[in-house]
Amino acid sequence: MNIVIIEDERLAANHLEKMIHKYDRSIRVMAKLESVQSAIEWFLKNPEPDLLFLDIHLEDGLSFAIFEKVKIRAPIIFTTAYDEYAIKAFKMKSIDYLLKPVIQDELNQGIEKYKEWNSIGKAAIDINALYEIISKKDPVYKERFSVAIGARIKTFNIDEIAYFYSEESMSFMVLRDKGEYPLDESLDKLGGMVNPKDFFRINRQYLIGLKAIKNVHVFPKSRLKIELYPPSKTEVFVSLDKVTKFKDWLNG
């Protein structure tokens, strides 16, 4: 079986590849693609895979834009952190829908579902119907987060949050008053919960609020160092592949 992974978070793509090989070492991952444009270029030059793992939101737009440029008949398993979308509708209209962070059992079930689907020769996926589900649903962003503090649960409004960061596979919420609390959600999932006008994922470890930026220091070769308030535990740099989008975000 040949598979292509389209995912703009390199860590998530590598993790997905490892889980696929844990399911079956003989599966060949033909490519791991990070953007709409790179996917279009790859499909124009290469044969289709047997199965496609596709994130909905890529760094340069919705992944559905790929299908406007190239015709792809391969079945699709969608992967995304954006659980506000109509999961039931996706499961009816695609092979499967895996919510990030993807777990091994659900991935195994998705591939088994593909095998069953393929063996009985079901019709091609209705990409247009899936796109309508996405485009007609306005995103809903969280206005507050609740955390357990001992035997109590405390709630914080979104405007109290300075930034989020991850450390040793755990996520943390840092408040503007310097309070810090662990969260159950991954940064991938948190990125889909907050308004992108107010928060930006600058690298794999930090999702920062606009109001948390104290200074932006420019280094050679377009490197940007972010000085946060409250101060971060380590130096924070914008990933090189996100520098342009980060500047656009700063400019509104």
The arithmetic mean of pLDDT across residues 77-91, rounded, is 60
17-37 pLDDT, tens digit each: 999 999 999 999 999 999 999
- The model's pTM is 0.54
Could you give the CA distance from residue 82 to residue 142 in angstroms, rounded to a whole number? 12
In this predicted structure, what is the pLDDT of residue 171? 92
36-46 pLDDT, tens digit each: 999 999 999 99
In this predicted structure, what is the pLDDT of residue 5? 96
Q: For tokens 């689907």, name the residue.
A: 117
52-73 pLDDT, tens digit each: 998 887 878 788 889 888 988 8
Residues 6+ apart with CB under 8 A from 35: 8, 58, 59, 60
Mean pLDDT, the chain, integer: 85
Q: Where are the domains of the chain?
A: 2-135, 144-250
Out of 23-27, 89-93, 131-135, 153-157, the most confident range is: 23-27
Q: How far is CA 90 from CA 6, 65, 73, 87, 223, in A?
A: 17, 17, 17, 5, 39
Instruction: Provide the residue type at 157 as one letter.
Output: N
Taking 60 as the threshold, does the pLDDT of residue 123 lie above it? no
Say whether 166 sits in a helix, a strand or coil.
strand
* Degrees, nearest 5: CA angle 245-247-251: 115
The tokens describing 121, both together, are: 């020769």
In this predicted structure, what is the pLDDT of residue 236? 95
181-214 pLDDT, tens digit each: 999 888 888 888 898 999 999 999 999 999 999 9
Q: For tokens 């450390």, name the residue.
A: 167
Query: Which has the closest alpha carbon to 58: 152, 188, 187?
Result: 188
139-179 pLDDT, tens digit each: 668 889 988 887 788 899 999 999 999 998 899 999 999 89
The strand ranges marked E within 60-169 are 61-62, 76-80, 96-99, 144-149, 152-157, 161-167
Q: For tokens 């280094």, name the residue.
A: 219
For the domain covering 144-250, report its CATH number: 2.40.50.1020
Looking at CATH, the fold of the domain delimited by 2-135 is given as Rossmann fold (3.40.50)
Could you give the CA distance from residue 145 to residue 122 in angstroms, rounded to a whole number? 42
